[in-house]
Amino acid sequence: MPEPTNTPSISDASTPSAGRIYDYMLGGHHNFEIDRQAADGLIKQVPEMPQWVRLIRWFLGAAVRSMIDDGFSKFLDFASGLPTVDHIHQIAPKGTKVVYSDVDPVTVAYAQEIVKGLPEVAFVLGDARRPESILDLDVVKRLFGSDHRLAIGFNGIAWFLEDKDIMHALDVLYDWASPGAKLFICDTNVNVVTSSTDKIAEFYKQVRQPVFLRSVEQFESLFGRWTIQEPGVQPLEAWLPIDRSGIEKTTRRTGGNLIGAILEKR
């Protein structure tokens, strides 16, 4: 079972939720007034925040499309949040099997309603820190079978996790995955610090989700036996199509302080 968490439930309308704030900044509708007020307050302090959030989701889209081009048709995603805006099953072609997960049971229940009626998409309760909690679930076995050459999403979660938890998760996933499996992951780059970094960190502390900042070298040290795929760890904007509108503006505002990589089991 996932470990207890102090993270506010997504159904609690009295406290801002990081997941609902994220949904609001992506242009979604699964959020409360208290989340919109908190998000708008943060945006006043950190005007680049919506671009930062969109950049993370754009990286997910770029990674998913890259893996589809490589022939992947099965995706296992951690810390998925609500699958509302440009998420995997909305990007991938029909027939793609997707298992989403999240640590908050209310988020899971809400998300299961969203994906209800999609037989090849499932949403399960699971902690990104302890992926073993979901790997033996019947729905995972049903959708993925015994061939675990699949794509794994660890997107937008690393900065909320301690080093030891990321290393454990990636180690467990490596042992479970089949050769040729890939994993996409992103993180902060503490070597590129903007004036907004402290404000963002303080905000997430207030909503009881402290962040952990790392350098590129610290990020790479977490990968364990996974092999970094070329072109290596890159700023998120480097993974995106050059004609994607808003990227230049986003990079100028965020300073390129988010990095991502695609890893492979060889």
Which H/E stretch holds residue 122?
strand 121-125
Q: Which pTM was predicted?
A: 0.84
Residue/partner pairs of 47-50 with CB below 8 Å, 24 or more apart: 47/253, 48/194, 48/196, 48/250, 48/253, 48/254, 49/25, 49/196, 49/200, 50/25
* pLDDT confidence tier of residue 69, bands split at 50, 70 and 90: very high
The string of pLDDT tens digits covering residues 18-41 is: 677 878 888 877 788 888 998 898
Structure tokens belonging to residue 24 = 């609001």
The string of pLDDT tens digits covering residues 136-188 is: 999 999 999 999 999 999 999 999 999 999 999 999 999 999 999 999 999 98
Structure tokens belonging to residue 191 = 């070597």
Q: Which residues contact 145 (CB under 8 A, 6 or more apart)?
A: none
Q: Give the whole-angstrom CA distance, residue 28 versus residue 16.
A: 15
The string of pLDDT tens digits covering residues 95-149 is: 999 999 998 787 788 889 989 999 999 999 999 999 999 999 999 999 999 999 9
The string of pLDDT tens digits covering residues 182-229 is: 999 999 888 776 667 777 777 777 777 788 989 999 999 999 999 999
Amino acid found at 197: T
- The superfamily in CATH containing domain 18-264 is Vaccinia Virus protein VP39 (3.40.50.150)
pLDDT of residue 223: 98
User: Of residues 53 and 11, which shows the higher confidence score?
Assistant: 53
Residue 137, Cβ neighbours under 10 Å: how many? 16
Q: What residue ranges do the domains of the chain occupy?
A: 18-264
Q: Which residues contact 69 (CB under 8 A, 6 or more apart)?
A: none
